[in-house]
Amino acid sequence: MRSRRELDLTSQAAVDAFFETEQPEYVVLAAAKVGGIRANNTYPAEFIRDNLAMQTNVIHSAWAHGTNKLLFLGSSCIYPKHAPQPMPEDSLLTGPLEPTNEWYAVAKIAGIKMCQAYRKQYGFDAISLMPTNLYGPGDNFDLKNSHVLPALLRRIHEAKQAQQPEVVVWGSGTPRREFLHVDDLADAAVTLMANYSRPEIVNVGVGEDISILELAELVRDVVGYEGKLVLDRDKPDGTPRKLLDVSRINDIGWRARISLKDGIEETYRWFLDHQDQYRG
């Protein structure tokens, strides 16, 4: 494992040299440029360019250097904006994407297709896993680039500390999202690496969703904030609903175990222990 400072995954030469030296037998490709609606809208070129480069370099070098198996982590945003709910794996490429994150989604779809192409042409054992929205200890709490859950957690915490009477929540509060703890994702990845070897993608989620307003209320309860939540309806909502059909991975024998409330409480404890790095 290398940090981004130690290994530039957007450089094919650097990635190839890494695989030549290390010769990894198994690869989990989790590296990506990620962010919420604001980041996707602000940096569309970087989201498509960097993600295409990283995944292309890693998948190709893994195959070229004889890696036994590769797991590619996609995203639930690959599915059409108005896909059937819960979203089955076969709804991929059946309709237009959500415009606020289409750059990231297109890159991830290309990664899926590259895995399938290398399997088809070269027999490379590459599988693709589509997780729902992730959260947990070590999350990104930068207010400019973070996803909704860590952003809400930090903003509500800071409102409590400053004794502010209200916190603004972007959008109408009605979109529904599903949230998976990172430890559950790790467990799913291990399960699939050991028990799955097919070209079809596999959704990974909890099978339940929650509205953004309900999420904000849950975070408020965990933080212990007593102020009001105010909706800013002028801000974008994104996709109306993103709930994954997880029957395929359930049939393989895996189910999520960590409840959303327990996971948020653990994530908040981690944030409290590391909040100094977000000040200033």
Residue spans per domain, the chain: 12-278
Q: Render pLDDT for 14-23 as a digit per residue (tens, 0 to 9).
A: 999 999 999 9
- Give the fold, CATH level 3, of 12-278: Rossmann fold (3.40.50)
Task: Give the pLDDT of residue 142.
Answer: 86
Task: Indicate which residues carry an active-site annotation.
Answer: 104
Beta strands in the chain (DSSP E): 26-29, 69-73, 126-131, 133-135, 166-170, 176-177, 179-181, 202-204, 210-211, 228-232, 241-242
Task: Give the pLDDT of residue 237.
Answer: 84
Q: Render pLDDT for 97-136 as a digit per residue (tens, 0 to 9).
A: 989 889 999 999 999 999 999 999 999 999 999 999 999 9
Q: Binding site residues, as ranges?
A: 73-76, 108, 131-134, 147, 155, 170, 177, 237
With a cut of 60, say whether residue 280 has pLDDT above it. no
The mean pLDDT of the chain is 94
Q: Render pLDDT for 36-53 as a digit per residue (tens, 0 to 9).
A: 777 888 899 999 999 999
Task: Give the pLDDT of residue 4.
Answer: 83
Q: Binding site residues for substrate, as ranges?
A: 155, 170, 177, 237
Task: Give the pLDDT of residue 188.
Answer: 98
pTM of the full structure: 0.90
The DSSP element (H or E) to which 141 belongs, if any, is none
